[in-house]
Amino acid sequence: MNPAQLYSQPAAYLVVAAFLLATGIFGLVRRRTLIGMLISGELIFAAASLNFMALNRFTAPDQSVGQIAVLFIMGLAAAEVAITLSIIIAVYRNYRSIVSKELNELKG
Amino acid sequence: MNSFPFSDWIVAAIFVSFIAITVTGALIAALTKRIIRSVCGLAICSLGLAGLFYFLNSPFLALMEILIYIGAVCVTVIFGVMLTEPDEPKPEQHTRPYPVISPLIAIAIAGGVFLGIAWLSLSANWQAPASIVSEGSVKDIGIRLLTTYSVPFELISLVLLVAILGALVIARSGRTKE
């Protein structure tokens, strides 16, 4: 494999996407606040987008399907961020904290 | 065609630097203690990802990545940071070996996922398609969004509308009580 042609290998993109997924899972497990967990979730969305784009570019006969899928992922990610931030603000108003360890009451 | 000297290596260096930007941004987003730095890490990661999308023959999605992720998502998260108090708390003191073991478990899970998927994608034999139906230009994307994928396109707009209304209702509901 010629190292100058690395950008035309699907494995390069897929390994980067796997790294993004692993980083997102690590952050999702280790973060102690809700916003940190939200950012880690965004990393997992980014990994999914990169997978769609790489497999679309190198293995699909119709090159526009993966791009449309990634556009839908971006729309869903934007909606998810809006909803999650409003939930976080509501939680902060009730608990004065968004540390996930302190949110331990169901109906207070 | 490539008359410029070392043009292959310049392109490869740009590609590797985009990968480095993506990886660095992801590490900053996952590992820093202060949340505002984590948001900046997400923005850096999105910038590198936009570069990778450009290498994947899609300048339109590279532009949308910058526009939506850096311009909308990161700014919205920064508003959330401004309205709450999100810094990571100090890790509490335990007498059990629990705080020593738990990061090791997280690293083991993440490393296992990364190594497994990386091994799968390196060992698989990715076949190029036999025939290219469409080149994936912006015109093709537009035509497919309005013909084949018109129902999910409309559903996405509906989801965004419901998300906006729901976000307003949820964020406002606690305020009337005070």
The structural domains of chain B, with segments of one domain joined by +, span 1-89, 135-178
Q: What CATH architecture applies to the domain A11-95? A: Orthogonal Bundle (1.10)
Q: Give the model's pLDDT for residue B25.
A: 95
Residues 6+ apart with CB under 8 A from A4: B8, B9, B11, B12
Residues 6+ apart with CB under 8 A from B115: none
Structure tokens at A66: 């993966």
C-alpha closest to that of B80 among B169, B171, B173 = B171
pLDDT greater than 60 at residue B178: no
Q: Is A61 in Cβ contact with B140 (below 8 Å)?
A: no
Number of Cα atoms under 13 Å in the Cβ half of residue B2:
7
pLDDT in tens, B72-127: 999 999 988 888 876 666 666 655 556 678 788 889 999 999 999 999 988 888 88
Q: Is A42 in Cβ contact with B60 (below 8 Å)?
A: no
What is the identity of the amino acid at B5? Answer: P
Distance between CA atoms of B177 and B173, rounded to whole angstroms? 8
Helix/strand/coil percentages in chain A, nearest 5: 80, 5, 20
> Which residues of chain B lie closer than 8 angstroms to A36, CB-CB?
35, 38, 86, 88
C-alpha closest to that of A15 among B105, B107, B31, B123 = B123
Cβ neighbours, 10 Å, residue A75: 20
Q: Give the model's pLDDT for residue A105.
A: 76
Distance between CA atoms of B156 and A108, rounded to whole angstroms? 35
Contact indicator for B29, A25 with CB cutoff of 8 Å: no
> Which residues of chain B lie closer than 8 angstroms to A5, CB-CB?
8, 12
Compute the mean pLDDT over every residue in chain B, rounded to the nearest whole number.
87
CATH of domain B1-89: 1.20.120.1200
| Residue B147 DSSP symbol | T
Give the angle A58-A64-A67 at the CA atoms, nearest 5°: 85
Question: In tens digits, what is the pLDDT along chain A, a chain of 108 residues?
Answer: 676 778 888 889 999 999 999 999 999 988 888 899 999 999 999 999 999 999 999 988 888 999 999 999 999 999 999 999 998 888 888 888 888 777 777 765
Q: Is A99 in Cβ contact with B55 (below 8 Å)?
A: no
pLDDT greater than 80 at residue B175: no
Q: Please report the DSSP string for A50-93 in residue order.
A: HHHHHHHHHH-SBTTHHHHHHHHHHHHHHHHHHHHHHHHHHHHH
